[in-house]
Chain A
Amino acid sequence: MTEVMIEKKRAGLMSRIGRTGRRRGNTHLLIGAVIVGLIVLMAICAPLLTRYGPIDQDFTATLQGPSWTHLLGTDNLGRDLWSRILFGARTDLFLATVAVAAPLVIGTAIGALSGYFGGWFDTIIMRIADIVVAFPFYVLVISLVFIMGNGVGSIFAAISIVSWVAYARIVRAETMVLSSTDFVDALKVGGLGSGRIVFRHLVPNVVSQAIVYAMSDIVANIGVIVTLSYFGMGIVPPTPDWGSMMADGQPFFAGGYYGLMVVPAAAVIVTSFGLSLVGDGLANVLRVKR
């Protein structure tokens, strides 16, 4: 076999690997997007999909099983489970997604600046990052929410304080690699300012990594929000939320009323599953190594 043939064969093999990888990415992305899309749609259209309010109590119909009047049954206060799941999606998904936005933007900006400029700024940022990640995520978030007081604002702030670090680290590493390439040298020679190089040229090239990570970060946020609410530290009742629903349902679990705890748990699991699929799919399509 000649060199050329070997090269050709290798190229063919590579493109085939690339193609199947991409196709798998696309199916993952598609399935994930359908799952997440459906859940988001259900959350948005919540009032249209149920006749009951999420906090309407009906003491003539407590602890009912699934039926045509109550699709998923009712809890011990006669609240419609289906309605609470729908409105809980609004609370949890919205908060988890919004809580990703601030760390994504702040972390990406800090990471890009840190990676591009290096020096003392980089050293300080990375030492702060080391210190923040030394705390277990749940320990720091729970302590912060305690200090700042229960509620949506505290959850949002606590998550933001902790999770910008991951984005900063990811983006910094990518930026450092990119900064030493000819493409950045060309920009410098072209007389572009540092700000313009970082935010107009470097960030668009590295942000895909951060976005892929953001998908798994939303999953982590849902987890921590639900856990906080389960322990009575998060979303303040009566606002419907999956975590407090599970806490309310747990005492009835042993009595055979599994749905009260399992249904909100299933909602969390399916949502997270969908988001992970989107993350995997995006990683494959954007060719991000994880």
Chain B
Amino acid sequence: MLRFLIRRLLLLIPVVVGVATLTFMLMHMTPGDPARTYLGDRASPQALAALRHQWGLDQPLWRQYLAFMGGLATGNLGQSMFFHDSIVSLLAIRLPPTLLLMAIATLFSILISVPLAVWMALSRGGAVDTAVRSFNSVAQGTPLFFTGAVLIAVFSLKLHWFPVAGYGKTFGEHVVSLILPSIAVALVIIPFLIRGLRGALIDALNSEFVNFAKAKGLSRRAIWTHYALRNAAIPGISILGIQVGYLAGGSLVIENVFAIPGMGTFLMKGILNRDFPVVQASALIFALLVIFVYLLTDIAYGLFDPRVRVK
């Protein structure tokens, strides 16, 4: 297991370097001039030159790249233009709400998907199966911000069960204010998760080892917990892992609908303020988050399925 872990970590290095390089290219190699975008069309040439100098844009590209990568390696993501503060310290405040949002959304999607998938696998083609599958098709086409807006209108404005927006002050308030956004984000993942789990469960139930377990006279309960669910858990985890991209993208959208002070609103603020270093750093952190979850998925895979470790 340790060798497996080390190999996984080593494999990550090129991806992390590549991701950092791509974020660097976002700011430095795309058409357009960040300084002009920041200052507007009527900026004087002197002001433009001064800002380019401040951002190091007048340096040769390779030196900018080295400076950027060097900064990353030492944990320095630069200064925010708008907040006049180091981005790392701003991110330290912004990251926890996003992580909590993603965690609660994951929890909701597991709690909803697993029982439904089991039910659907048991009564294939039945009313529940058909209903959930139609619901999935509709949910997949529903824009996330619309789901969020409807949830606010119904549960916050009409029923006053939840706060309309914001994040609260205590941990309890954090959790309460994240419930609606988490449900909205969970609805994005649930269709994928249900589809995958249902398929995996049906495959497992039709397999020879389940037939053998039945022939052996094992109880239904034992077959489900030891054979069907455990085998379906492996594709389940990998689907959940792949969905982290949607989860992160979803929190980008939903944080802005619910005004939650997380990474998503930070990125959007960076865009509104034309704060290039903030946009760059936020995009990078989102990508690193995804890579980190992929790593966790791989590890979970190794734990659940010993065959993976050997490969």
Binding site for B on A (CB under 8 A): 127-128, 130-140, 142-144, 146-149, 219, 222-223, 226-227, 230-231, 233, 243, 246, 250, 253-254, 261, 265, 268-273, 275-277
Contact = CB atoms under 8 A, between A and B. Distances in A.
B19 A135 contact: yes
A272 B141 contact: yes
7 contacts: A134-B294, A142-B267, A143-B26, A143-B279, A149-B32, A227-B143, A253-B149
Contacts of B31: 148
B141 A148 contact: no
Contacts of A146: 271, 279
Given A139-B249, A139-B267, A148-B32, A246 B145 contact: yes
B229 to A, nearest CB: 23
Nearest to A275: B141
Q: Which A-B residue pairs are the 5 nearest by beta carbons?
A: A272-B141, A138-B249, A131-B18, A136-B249, A136-B248
B141 A233 contact: no
B256 to A, nearest CB: 7
Contacts of A226: 143
Contacts of A140: 283
Contacts of B291: 134
A268 B287 CA distance: 28
Contact of A254 (B153, B252, B253): B153
Interface centre among A127, A139, A246 (most CB of B within 10 A): A139
Nearest to B145: A230
Given A131-B19, A148-B30, A138 B140 contact: no
A268 B144 CA distance: 11
A148 B140 CA distance: 28
A100 B30 CA distance: 22
Contacts, number: 127
Contacts of A272: 140-142
B290 interface: yes
B286 interface: yes
B126 to A, nearest CB: 16
Contacts of A265: 142-143, 146
A91 to B, nearest CB: 15
Nearest to A130: B15
B142 A139 contact: no
Given A253-B149, A273-B137, A135 B143 contact: no
Interface in B1-24: 14-15, 18-19, 21-22
A144 B32 contact: no
B143 A137 contact: no
Contacts of A139: 248-249, 252, 267, 282-283, 286-287
Given A136-B252, A219-B141, A276-B137, A142 B245 contact: no
A138 B253 contact: yes
A152 B15 CA distance: 31
A219 B140 contact: yes
Contacts of B18: 127-128, 130-131, 134
A51 to B, nearest CB: 29
Contacts of B294: 134
A271 B141 CA distance: 8
A38 to B, nearest CB: 16
B215 interface: no
A140 B246 CA distance: 12
Interface in B139-166: 140-146, 149, 153, 157
A223 B149 contact: no
A142 B144 CA distance: 15
B91 to A, nearest CB: 14
Contact of B283 (A135, A261, A275): A135
A209 B294 CA distance: 25
Given A231-B256, A254-B157, A136 B245 contact: yes
B51 interface: no
A276 to B, nearest CB: 5
Contact of B149 (A127, A131, A261): A261
A275 B140 CA distance: 11
Nearest to B158: A254
